[in-house]
Amino acid sequence: MSPNPRPVPDETETRQDCVLALDVGGTGMKGAVVDRTLTPVASLRVPTPRAQGPDAVVDTIADVLRTLRDGAQDQGLRVRHAGVVVPGIVDDARGRVLRAANLGWRDLALADVLARRTGLAVALGHDVRAGGAAESALGAARGTRNSLFVAIGTGVAAALVCDGVAVTSGGYAGELGHLVVDPQGADCACGGRGCLETVASASAVVAGYNALAPRPVTGAVEVADRARDGDPVAEEVWDRAVGALAQGLASAATLLAPEKVVLGGGLAEAGPLLLDRVRVALAERLTFQRGPDLLRAALGDRAGAIGAAIAAWRAAGVDAVGAARSGGSPGRVRQR
């Protein structure tokens, strides 16, 4: 199944080299042809066919990469590399997805599979680590040697930068959402109980509210809006999520001492209602630890694709971050 429409040029492009960037999520994929200043030359978005099974997702990823490649070649561009980022436990160095429960993958050599199907050199990475790399290079954590990027969406995951180096640990680092914050809490999809993401993820906030309120919501931002309006159930669910998130961040501050904590993902769309309350709750839990600056992500839902492009350019031997800082900026990814 080929994605349609073909990517449409965002602006006139005179440089001859580019990379492809693809951020694969549980519901949608965001792809782009990206120049040396990390500006999209063309972009597209397609649904992730998760309901059709794991093979269908791989097929669609390959189709999207081919579509982006063909669009780039139509513009006279030379594709140097492709960067693909996905959720789950991802071993970047080996190009393997060890486990991606939401997509049905286990021990999949995805980089090699995509290279065979597309003829492209493919750098594989983790979606949240890619977002963290983008925020560290060009976003809210820029200039910080120790940072923690936390994506709060369907689940909760983090990207760690310690003394200027991204921590991956074979793909297992950063699973902040599976810190236990309530030993007597709800069962988690990971097999544990009372994990942070059973309380503080966007999906947990929605489920917690709908279990108690007569008027259901479809998104966490609606719970935030009702909390602002004084809905007592929304306040209760929101405060519980804030407390759990502060507890998880306090553990991270104790172990890692980040100078900045950057919150992204759907729950961060609540803005000050989340950040201001988490700041207060986190400060209450810290004693001797260095209190981090708590910031909202600057790059929004572009961060994963920008991080994928950074990885692709790096694999091609090009310092795109330096080029973006000196002469360009990450462009806007348009939805077609």
Taken in order of first residue, the domains within the chain and their CATH numbers are 8-131+300-327 (3.30.420.40), 143-296 (3.30.420.40)
Residue 111 pLDDT more than 60? yes
Report yes or no: 22 and 29 within 8 Å, Cβ to Cβ.
Answer: yes
Question: Which of 129-143, 266-280, 319-333 is least confident?
Answer: 319-333
| Cβ-proximal residues to 13 (8 Å cutoff; 6+ apart), any chain | 35, 41, 75, 77
The pTM (predicted TM-score) of the whole model is 0.85
Instruction: Tell me the per-residue pLDDT of 169-209, one tens digit each, with 9 for 90 and over.
Output: 988 999 999 999 999 999 998 889 999 999 999 999 999 99
Half-sphere exposure at residue 264, Cβ-oriented, CA atoms within 13 angstroms: 30
Helix (H, G, I), strand (E, B) or coil at 209: helix
For residues 277 and 272, what is the distance between their CA atoms, to the nearest angstrom? 8
Nearest alpha-carbon partner for 122 in 105, 109, 138: 109
